[in-house]
């Protein structure tokens, strides 16, 4: 059924519809019906036949309605036909994808975007459930031509912010990683490469967290950009790379002038603390091999990597730390609390899957 609709095999579809137990509205694992397949594949004749059989043109799937599917693939003729059908609203929003105009922007479908822009009620600055406008979607998927076209339309701003305070710049830096787009954005009036998100991060921090090494390297070559610029939380690019386990990014950052692997954030955490708390064992192993990095370095209240690992149920990290020279699973913080105390507190709160195993390890160590 789905295959026939997707490939425009109308005769086969009609035959299947006459067979006992066969339904034109049967769904696959993604909730797709034949109507979604036909819309996505641009099979207008098939879609029209399905509609004539009483199949709903507004059925939702995990990837939106037939309208969203058609828009995602840039099926202008299908979208135009759907727009004339009863019950079809071009501004109907899918919880994940937004409206058809958002989907068209993400796909870089300029002809469809231009047509939608002329339809009553459709707005090129419409926000989806995350506050994202079409400019954000185009930036996130690296659709430079679409972004440039959108920027020329009345009311559209390249510094518009989504709910998280992200501008198109942030989506380009952290998601698409599109260097030509970043270079173009950098030259546009009002766009700042150091613009802050709502949480106080810059695009360079987002790029580090997302592992966009080429983007980081590009940023480093731009005037006014500092790889050690702190976010509102006092974290630099290397802290975000550590938290996300982006080892290749961390290795490159460590070789850059002014970047220190012992840098502390606003809470006094060094990368070793962040890696231990987050269970990033590969990163922690690498950090331990770097000059000047200490696995027993303390943050606030005398807490070290073993305390952070214990508090977050990082069993594998603790097992490895126990083998390292100078590291003790019985180390006390400034208040006299042992790693086992941190693990016990976490286990009581049920905050991590490995908390009980971690506690057993620490208790067996003599805590």
- The residue extents of the domains of the chain are 1-55
d(CA 102, CA 134): 5
d(CA 240, CA 244): 6
Residue ranges of the chain with per-residue pLDDT less than 50: none
Which residue, among 55, 103, 62, 108, has the nearest Cα to 79 in the 3D structure?
A: 103
CB 126 within 8 Å of CB 99:
yes
d(CA 304, CA 295): 7
* pLDDT (0 to 100) of residue 367: 53
d(CA 151, CA 134): 10
Tokens representing 235 are: 């974290």
Which residue, among 263, 243, 244, 241, has the nearest Cα to 252 in the 3D structure?
A: 241
d(CA 239, CA 258): 14
Tokens representing 304 are: 């070290």
Task: Give counts: helices (H), strands (E), the chain.
Answer: 22, 0
Cβ neighbours for 208, distance < 8 A, ≥ 6 positions apart: 216, 237, 238, 240, 241, 244, 246, 249, 253
CATH architecture type of domain 1-55 = Alpha Horseshoe (1.25)
CB 87 within 8 Å of CB 57:
yes
Tally the residues of the chain. Answer: 367
Q: Cα(first)–Cα(last) distance of the chain, in Å?
A: 63
Which residue reads 């967290």 in tokens? Answer: 209
CB 241 within 8 Å of CB 253:
yes
How would you write 266-295 as a 3-class SS string? CCCCCHHHHHHHHCCHHHHHHHHCCCCCCC
d(CA 100, CA 70): 9
d(CA 263, CA 259): 8
Which residue, among 290, 255, 257, 258, has the nearest Cα to 275 in the 3D structure?
A: 290
Rounded to whole angstroms, what are the CA distances from 159 to 97, 166, 194, 222, 250? 21, 9, 12, 19, 29
């Amino acid at each position: 059924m789905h295959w026939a609709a997707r490939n425009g095999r109308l005769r086969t579809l009609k035959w299947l519809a006459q067979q006992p137990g066969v339904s034109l509205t049967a769904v696959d694992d993604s909730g797709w019906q034949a109507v979604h397949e036909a819309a996505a594949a641009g099979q207008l004749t098939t879609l029209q036949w399905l509609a004539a059989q009483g199949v709903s043109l507004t059925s939702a799937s995990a990837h939106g309605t037939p309208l969203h599917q058609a828009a995602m693939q840039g099926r202008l003729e299908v979208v135009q036909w759907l727009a004339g059908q009863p019950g079809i609203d071009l501004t109907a929003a899918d919880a994940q994808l937004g409206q058809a105009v958002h989907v068209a922007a993400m796909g870089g479908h300029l002809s469809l975007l231009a047509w939608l822009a002329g339809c009553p009620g459709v707005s090129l600055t419409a926000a989806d459930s995350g506050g994202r406008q079409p400019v954000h979607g185009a930036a996130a998927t690296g659709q430079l031509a679409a972004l440039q076209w959108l920027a020329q339309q009345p009311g559209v701003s390249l510094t518009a912010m989504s709910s998280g305070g992200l501008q198109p710049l942030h989506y380009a830096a952290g998601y698409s990683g599109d260097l030509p787009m970043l270079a173009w954005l950098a030259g546009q009036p009002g766009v700042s490469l150091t613009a802050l998100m709502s949480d106080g991060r810059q695009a360079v921090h987002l790029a580090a967290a997302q592992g966009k090494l080429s983007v980081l390297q590009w940023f480093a070559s731009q005037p006014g950009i500092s790889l050690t610029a702190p976010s509102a939380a006092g974290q630099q690019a290397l802290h975000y790379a550590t938290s996300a386990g982006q080892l290749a990014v961390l290795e490159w950052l460590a070789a850059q002038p002014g970047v220190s692997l012992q840098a502390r954030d606003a809470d006094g955490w060094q990368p070793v603390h962040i890696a231990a708390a987050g269970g990033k064992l590969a990163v922690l192993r690498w950090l331990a091999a770097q000059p000047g990095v200490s696995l027993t370095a303390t943050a606030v209240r005398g807490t070290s990597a073993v305390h952070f690992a214990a508090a977050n149920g990082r069993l594998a990290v603790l097992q490895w730390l126990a083998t390292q020279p100078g590291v003790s699973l019985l180390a006390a913080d400034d208040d006299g609390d042992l790693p086992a105390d941190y693990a016990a507190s976490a286990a009581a709160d049920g905050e991590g899957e490995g908390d009980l195993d971690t506690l057993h390890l620490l208790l067996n160590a003599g805590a």
